[in-house]
Copies of this chain bind each other. A is one copy, B any other.
């Protein structure tokens, strides 16, 4: 009996799972909420775009959760032997870069910077760099359109260079004090394997390819002179980025003695190269060609893969198409919706319709379940947090249409669910328009497990059966699988992901099949959704509505500054 550990650093907490390497079944899980800020996030009431995290929380989290799963597994099974843990895998959110000094110490851990939000980890949903993102996009369009071709045609404010350039602009002291910036995932694997000294760090393909325009076609990261045009100091920063990145079948290194002691693990076991949570969630969901994996949480990540030896066009609006970012040997295609659960949470927590009892997710879901498709006359856009795919535009906002004097909260709640389903279909359609057929949809994440109404609406809107992963921790399971592959077959793991996934992944018995009547109504509603989507989302739309949300945001910015 061999085991692996998967660590999953989410937006508000980190969790560890300890799984049986033979069948993927969980022996124990543990969660540690980050302590700093509001639910683990450092916010700024004057700037809704800001979202940071304290790297110290990451270290506390791994110590607590790894010891806890070992402890729990030991209590549940007296034969359990932590010495049979053969590997570790780690996923994190991203792009979540943090500045580190020459010793690999996060600036946030230095006295000088410990209270400075700019020295912390810049969480994926930090959008402070939106104007830098526009600047990078413009420069790339003019000088290097190839840089953008594989990442949807637009460089996002959520990504690596937007954040670093923004820091350089607003807080040069922090920028100057940093030797380099590392993604959260790379920081973790390097830390555990003693490769944190920046020159040795094995940066992961996943983050580099999806968020930092890394591509072997042009020698890795964007050229020094390209970055220098944005700012000479950004050109210098380029020198700290190696020209090679690594896929998750590689080891980041071996667990150091120090960390082995801290965590109660055997020294020298392999730590797999890291990846983003969603990508390892794809692995843990059994992703393969033709299967779309949707990780539905506060936002979604939609993952697909495509063999590198088969033709694949650039797909506009898809956030990234990266060789080996999910599975080695496959293009990893990443799409997503900027807010899904967050929209329902906004409605419940901020608007709280009907008060706390009548306005709970449960009560609103009950009301929404009574309705038929189209019955409310409502239609919404799922853009309360912008649109990641296929518009790649954070400067978009929500829209609700069709209200009468009789519209009830349960109707609005359902319209918001439907809006996210229409957004999901728009992503599927975009994949298929460019030849990536989606024949199966695998869902994971808390909402998929707990909300049958949402799953049924997704089936009815997309016209596709919705499956749900057996594990409730697919990201962490994916990391554990990576740990098993890093260990290899001779250590009791696997030599390929296909073998590991076949053994370790599974689906729940319940699935959601499309109701043909509902699908018919939703086909009609989707045409209207798409009309609004294009009118408000595309500058090229003939009716020129695309200015409306942007001008409102511009007016808002002026009032607030």
- Chain A residues proximal to chain B, CB less than 8 Å: 48, 339, 342-343, 345-346, 350-356, 358-359, 372-379, 384-385, 397-409, 412, 521, 524-525, 528, 531-532, 535, 541-545, 547-549, 551-553, 555-556, 558-560
A397 to B407, CA, bound (A): 11
Residues of B contacting A412 in the complex (Cβ-Cβ under 8 angstroms): 351
CB distance from A71 to the nearest CB of B (A): 37
Q: Is the CB of A404 within 8 A of B384?
A: yes
CB distance from A145 to the nearest CB of B (A): 29
Q: Is the CB of B535 within 8 A of A543?
A: yes
A346 to B343, CA, bound (A): 22
**Which of B375, B401, B542, B551 contacts A556, CB < 8 Å?**
B375
Q: Which 9 A-B pairs have the closest CB atoms?
A: A543-B543, A355-B355, A398-B403, A377-B556, A374-B555, A375-B559, A397-B402, A399-B401, A374-B559
Most buried by B among A346, A350, A524, A556: A350
CB distance from A314 to the nearest CB of B (A): 28
A376 to B409, CA, bound (A): 21
CB-based nearest B residue for A541: B543
User: Can you report 7 A-B residue pairs in the complex whose CB atoms are below 8 A from each other?
Assistant: A48-B404, A346-B407, A351-B408, A374-B555, A398-B400, A399-B400, A543-B545
Residues of B contacting A559 in the complex (Cβ-Cβ under 8 angstroms): 372-375, 521
Q: Is the CB of B343 within 8 A of A405?
A: yes
Residues of B contacting A528 in the complex (Cβ-Cβ under 8 angstroms): 547-548, 551-552
Residues of B contacting A356 in the complex (Cβ-Cβ under 8 angstroms): 355
**Which of B346, B405, B408, B548 contacts A532, CB < 8 Å?**
B548
Residues of B contacting A521 in the complex (Cβ-Cβ under 8 angstroms): 555, 559
A117 to B156, CA, bound (A): 59
Residues of B contacting A343 in the complex (Cβ-Cβ under 8 angstroms): 405
Given contacts A374-B559, A401-B549, A524-B551, 18 further A-B contacts (CB under 8 A): A346-B405, A350-B405, A372-B559, A376-B556, A377-B552, A377-B555, A377-B556, A379-B548, A379-B552, A384-B405, A397-B403, A398-B404, A399-B401, A521-B559, A525-B555, A531-B547, A535-B535, A541-B543
A549 to B556, CA, bound (A): 27
**Which of B353, B354, B397 contacts A404, CB < 8 Å?**
B397
A116 to B525, CA, bound (A): 37
Given A398-B401, A548-B401, A351:B409 Cβ within 8 A: yes
Q: Is the CB of B397 within 8 A of A48?
A: no
**Which of B377, B405, B409 contacts A553, CB < 8 Å?**
B377
A548 to B555, CA, bound (A): 27
Given A375-B560, A551-B524, A399:B403 Cβ within 8 A: yes
Residues of B contacting A398 in the complex (Cβ-Cβ under 8 angstroms): 400-404, 407
CB distance from A387 to the nearest CB of B (A): 13
Most buried by B among A352, A358, A372, A541: A352
Given A351-B353, A351-B354, A402:B372 Cβ within 8 A: no
A339 to B407, CA, bound (A): 14
Residues of B contacting A376 in the complex (Cβ-Cβ under 8 angstroms): 556
CB distance from A274 to the nearest CB of B (A): 28
